[in-house]
Amino acid sequence: VATIGAAVMLLQQDYKTVHRFMQLALSIQDTIGRAKSSKTVHLAQLFGLAWTLPISRCLPALGDGYVVGMQMGETVTAIWVLATQRVVLPILLGHPLAAIQRDCSKVLAQAEEVAQQDQALLVRCLWQLVINLSDPSTSNGTRLEGEVLNPRVHKSENENFHVTHYFSEAMLLLIFSDYEEAAQR
């Protein structure tokens, strides 16, 4: 049900229907038990309820989704949920960069501990974004290169990484007022 809700969001952008689907998915999850609940929570909160409720109301539920995912052995989804809760949404909400940096290191350590290298790579990319935002005097503040994002990772075959990388660099270009270069991304 949450997957259908996410599809409605992506294809129709019908927020009222998406909200109903996501509430139904979470209700069914509560009724039948917690199997696969980290995936349901992630889809419901990120692709549905975050569009219909204040994002800050989604953060506690994501924390629950992470805990349940780890308990159920759903490490892939659990790390996605953790990265969303502790890194992605705080960046979008404008939380203090120093706090996000601390959380990046914790999420990265957790991803590496459970051998989720794709998520670890995305966290490294977002962490470098936060570092660049924290200190724009870096050698090239609008490029994601530096202490946590080693240039060798640019050769990754991970499509999610490339999307995150280009989005992050475009975000830096916009923030640092290089609109022409950002438009080319």
Over residues 15-35, the pLDDT tens digits come to 788 778 778 877 887 777 765
pLDDT of residue 110: 94
* Terminal-to-terminal C-alpha distance of the chain: 35
- The percent of residues above 70 in pLDDT, for the chain, comes to 76
Q: How far apart are CA 131 and CA 67, in angstroms?
A: 28
Mean pLDDT of the chain: 78
What are 45-65's pLDDT values in tens digits? 777 777 788 888 878 878 888
DSSP state of 48: I
